[in-house]
Chain A
Amino acid sequence: MLDARTGLLLWRSLWMASAAGLFAIALGWPYAIFACRFQFPGASLFRMLMPLPLLLPPLMVAQAWFGLSHMTGPWASVFTFGVCYAPLPALMAARSLRHQSASSHHAALLLGPRFALFEMLRISFLPALVGGCFAFLFSSADFAVPDYFATVGDLFHVYAAEIFGHSRNDDFTAGATASLPLLLLGFLALLGCAHLQHKQNNFETQGGPAPAPLRLPTWRLSIGLGMSALLLLLLLAPLGRIVFETGMQGPLSDRSWLEVSGQAFHDAVSRGRADVLRTLSYAGLAGLFCLLLAPLWAHMLLHSKGKIRMLLLVALTLPLLVPSVALGFGSILMFNQPWLDSFYLSIWPPALLVAGRFLPVAVWVLVARMSRSPRNQEEVAALAGCSSWLRIFRYHLGPMRSTWFLAAGLVVAFGVRELDFAILLPAANQSAAVRYYNALHFSRDNFVAAYGLVLAVLLFLPVMLHAWWLNFTQSTDDNSLS
C-alpha cells in the first residue's frame, strides 16, 4: 500500500476527485443562484431540470462527451464527473436560497443589486461546498469513467481500479485493505459536510416568506442565454449525442439512421422491459425502507451529541464508503445459507443493500430540512403527550412531505444505477444495470444508447414530477401570501 505506484494512484484519485468537486461547484452553484433567485424567461423550467444530469449514468455521459469533443485523459474524467455531479451543489445551494432570510435580502438590495448578489453567494456557498464534497466522494470511488477515457488517450488508472483489481484476483483481504485510504477520505469528506451543514443553519430563516426573485430587465436576456449554455453543457448536449448514437452506423452501412434507431429502441423496450421492472421492484422496496428509516435516523442524529452522534454517523456512512463489490460478497457470505435459501433468492437482499448503501443520502436530505423545523413545535407536541413516532412523522414530516419523498426517490434512482453488487445477487442479476453494461461490453452500441435513454426517462419522470410539485406548491404559497 505504501509503495510509489499505489501512492501515485492515490494522489491521482485525490486530485481528480477534488478537481471534479470544484468543477461541479463551478457549474452547479451559479446555476442554482440564477435559476432560483433571478427572473428571466423559462426560470421555472431551469429549476425543474436542475436535478436531471444526476440521473444519467456517468459512463453514458463520458461516452457522449467523447463523441462530441474527442477529449481524453484524466481531465476528461474530471469534466465528466463535474458535469454529472453539478446537480449536487446546485440542489444544496438552491435549497439554502429558498430559505434565505427575506430581511437580509431586502437589506442588501437597498444597497444595490450587487450587494444582493453577494448576499446570495454568502448564503449558498457552504451548501454548494457540501454538494462539492459529495461530488468528490462519488468521483473518487468511480473507476469506470477513468477506465473509459484511458482507452481513448494515454493509459492511466485511479485508486479505485487498484481495489477492484485485488478483489478480482481473489485476493479479497488485499482488496479490503486497499480500500481503507478511500474509505478514510470519504469519511473525512462527510465529516466536513456535517460541519458545514451545521454552520449553514445560522444563515437560514426558520420560516416566513421567501424573498422574491431579482428583476434585472437589462440582464434578462444575458442570464437566459448563459443558463441555456449551462443546460446545454449539463444535459442537452450529452442527451442529444446519445439520441444520435441510437442510430449511428459506419459509412458502408446501407441502413438509415431512423431504421437503426427504431430497431434499437424496439430492442431496448422488448428485451429490457422485464429487467427494468425487476430493478424498480427492489429499488422501490429500498426506497420504502428509507421512507421509514431515514426520518428516524435523521431525528436521532439531530438529537444526539458527542460520541453517540459520531457512532451514528459512522454506522450510517460505512455502507456508502465501502466498495460496492465488498457489500455483494459480504451479502453472499451472510445470506447464502441453506436455511435462508428463499430469502437469498428473493428481492430482499438487493433491496436491503440498496437501502443500506444509500440511506446516508436520504438522511442527509432530511437532516438538512428537519434542522430548520421550529424546535418549539416539537416541544409543544411532546408536552401534549405525543409519542416520538408521531412527532417525527406528523409534526416534522407533515409539512415537508415533498422532501421526504425526494429522499426516498433519490435512493430509488441510485439503486437503479447500482451495478457492482447487482451481478453478485441472484434477484438483482437480471437487472437494468447488468443488461446495460453487458450490452456495452459486447459492443451493442445502438442498444446501449437506446436503453440508457429509456432508463434515463424512467428516472427523469418522478424527479420532474417532484420538481413540478415543488414549483406548484411554491407558486400556490406565493399567491396565498399575496
Chain B
Amino acid sequence: MARLLPALVGLLLCLSCSGSNPDLVVYCALDQDLSEPLILEFEQRTGLKVQAQYDVERNKTVGLVQRILHEAESHPHADVFWNNEIAHTLRLQHAGLTEPYQSPAAATIPSAFRDPEGHWTGFAARARVVLYRTDQDLPVPTKLDDFLKPEFAQHGAMAAPLTGTTLTNATVLAQVRGRQAMLDWFAAARAAGLAFGSGNADVMRRTAAGNFHWCFTDTDDAAKAIDQGHPLAIRYLEQGDGHTGALLIPNTLCLLKSGKNQKAARQFADFILSTEVEARLAHSISRQIPLHENTQIPDGVGRPGVDFQVMDVDWAQVGAKIGDIARLLQTEFVR
C-alpha cells in the first residue's frame, strides 16, 4: 500500500496544477441547477471561459457577499455578482464596490427595478405569497394583518426573518410601518399562534406534508411544491383598492468595480438580462416572474401589475437598513 503513495501524490499534484485563468468570474446566489446551464450556454455562445461560484442555504446569499467584501480588502476576484435577491446587492453598492452599467438588454425592465445610475438591475423576480392547501376547508389570509388573527395564524407558518427574502420582507415592513411596529407585528403573530420555521423551503415542505394549512413563502418554493404534485395553490397578499400589493423581490445583477474583465462582464450582463433568459427562468421549475414587459410567460406565472398588484418599495432605504434590522431580529428570534 505504501508503494502507491508516490503515484497518489503525483496524481494529486497534477490535479492541483490543472486549470487556467478564466475570462470571467461570476459569483452566483441563484439556484445552481437554474443558473449553471445558462452560464454554460453563455460560454458556448461567446467562447469565453467562465468561473462560477455558488452559494448555499446555511449562508443564504451572505456567504458570497461576505466573500466579495473580504476579497475586496486585498485582491478582488469577482467580475459579476448575480444575486437571487436585492438587499445584499445594495449593501455592495453602499460599500462602493459596484460598477455602473446600463445594459441595453434591460431597457424594457421597469425603472422601479433598476438603479438610476446602473449599479444594479433587477430581473426574474419572486413574489412573497401565501401557499395554501386546496384539500382543506380552512381560511386563507388575504392580507398581512390576517397573520395576527388566531383563526389564520394557528394553521400557518413562515420562516423566521433572519435571512433571505423573509429578512428583506421584515425590512420592508419596518420601512412602511416603523421599526417598533414591525417588531410588534412579529410578536403579535407569534402570540396568535403563527409558527416560525428556519427557512422558506422548510415551511413549504411542511405545508406540502400537511402539517400546516398555509405558509408565507416565495413563489419559486411554491412552484416546486405544486410541481411535485401536492394539492396546493398560491395567493398574492394585499390585493385590491387601498392595499399595498404583493412584495416582489427580483434577482439582481451587478458588475463589480474591481473586476478585471469588464468587457466580458458587460457581455454577460447583456445575456442574462435579456428577455430570452427571463423567459427561460419563467418556464423553469421555479417559475421566476419576468419583469420585462414583453417576456413570454407560461401558465401559472402572474404578470406584475396585470395579474397582481405590486408593492412600491424604496430599495435604497431597504439596503441601508437591512443590516440593523438583521441584528435587531437576531436578538428577538435567536433564542
Contacts and interface: CB of A to CB of B under 8 A. Distances in A.
A binds B: yes
Interface of A: 5, 8-9, 144, 147-148, 150-152, 154-157, 161-162, 164-165, 167-171, 249-255, 271, 281, 284-285, 288, 291, 325, 329, 332-333, 336-338, 341, 344-348, 351, 401, 405, 419-420, 423-424, 426, 429-430, 434-435, 437-445, 447
A348 B70 contact: no
Interface secondary structure of B, over-half rule: helix
A401 B228 contact: no
A253 B56 contact: no
Given A157-B334, A170-B69, A291 B5 contact: yes
B327 interface: yes
B125 interface: no
B74 interface: yes
A430 B17 contact: no
A445 to B, nearest CB: 7
A432 to B, nearest CB: 12
Contacts of B73: 333
Considering the complex of A and B, which 9 residue pairs feature the smallest CB-CB distances, nearest first? Answer: A253-B229, A441-B57, A250-B229, A250-B230, A151-B197, A437-B56, A151-B202, A442-B31, A252-B229
Interface in B10-50: 12, 15-17, 19, 21, 31-34, 36
Contacts of B55: 423, 438
A441 B201 contact: yes
B303 interface: no
B202 A345 contact: no
Q: How large is the interface on B (under 10, 10 to 19, 20 to 34, 35 or more residues)?
A: 35 or more
Nearest to A252: B229
A336 B21 CA distance: 15
B106 interface: no
B231 interface: yes
Contacts of A337: 74-75
Interface in B66-123: 66-67, 69-71, 73-75, 77
Point out which of A291, A325, A332, A337 has the most chain B C-beta atoms below 10 A from its C-beta.
A332
A168 B12 contact: no
A284 B205 CA distance: 36
A148 B202 contact: yes
A8 B225 CA distance: 36
A442 B57 CA distance: 8
Contacts of B31: 438, 441-442, 444
B197 A442 contact: no
Given A161-B334, A251-B230, A169 B326 contact: yes
A401 B1 contact: yes
A420 B9 CA distance: 26
B53 A426 contact: yes
A346 B17 CA distance: 7
B224 interface: yes
B156 interface: no
Interface centre among B64, B67, B204, B206 (most CB of A within 10 A): B67
Contacts of A444: 31, 33, 224
A405 B66 contact: no
Contacts, number: 189
Contact of A170 (B56, B58, B66, B204): B66
A11 to B, nearest CB: 12
B278 interface: no
Contact of B53 (A271, A338, A429, A437): A429
A157 B1 contact: no
Nearest to A347: B16
B54 A346 contact: no
A443 B77 contact: no
B174 interface: no
Interface of B: 1-2, 5, 8-9, 12, 15-17, 19, 21, 31-34, 36, 51-60, 62-64, 66-67, 69-71, 73-75, 77, 159-160, 162-163, 195-199, 201-206, 208, 211, 220-221, 224-225, 228-231, 286, 323, 326-327, 330-331, 333-335
Contact of B74 (A9, A170, A336, A447): A336
Contacts of B163: 168
B70 A329 contact: yes
B30 to A, nearest CB: 8
Contact of B33 (A5, A164, A346, A442): A442
B225 A338 contact: no
B229 A254 contact: yes
B59 A168 contact: yes
B67 A423 contact: yes
A252 to B, nearest CB: 4
A77 B209 CA distance: 20
- Which interface residue of B59, B160, B197 has the most chain A CB atoms within 10 A? B59
Contacts of B67: 332, 423-424
Given A155-B196, A439-B32, 18 more contacts: A5-B335, A9-B335, A150-B197, A151-B202, A165-B334, A168-B163, A168-B326, A251-B230, A291-B5, A333-B70, A333-B74, A346-B17, A423-B55, A440-B57, A441-B57, A442-B32, A443-B205, A445-B228
B228 A434 contact: no
Nearest to B17: A346
Contacts of A254: 229
A478 B256 CA distance: 67
Contact of B56 (A164, A336, A423): A423
B75 A251 contact: no
A438 B57 contact: yes
A252 B58 contact: no
A434 B162 CA distance: 21
B64 A442 contact: no
6 contacts: A165-B162, A251-B229, A332-B67, A423-B54, A440-B201, A442-B286
B326 A281 contact: no
B66 A281 contact: no
A8 B335 CA distance: 7
Contact of B205 (A5, A253, A445, A447): A445
Contacts of B195: 154-155
B221 A443 contact: yes
Contacts of B71: 332, 336
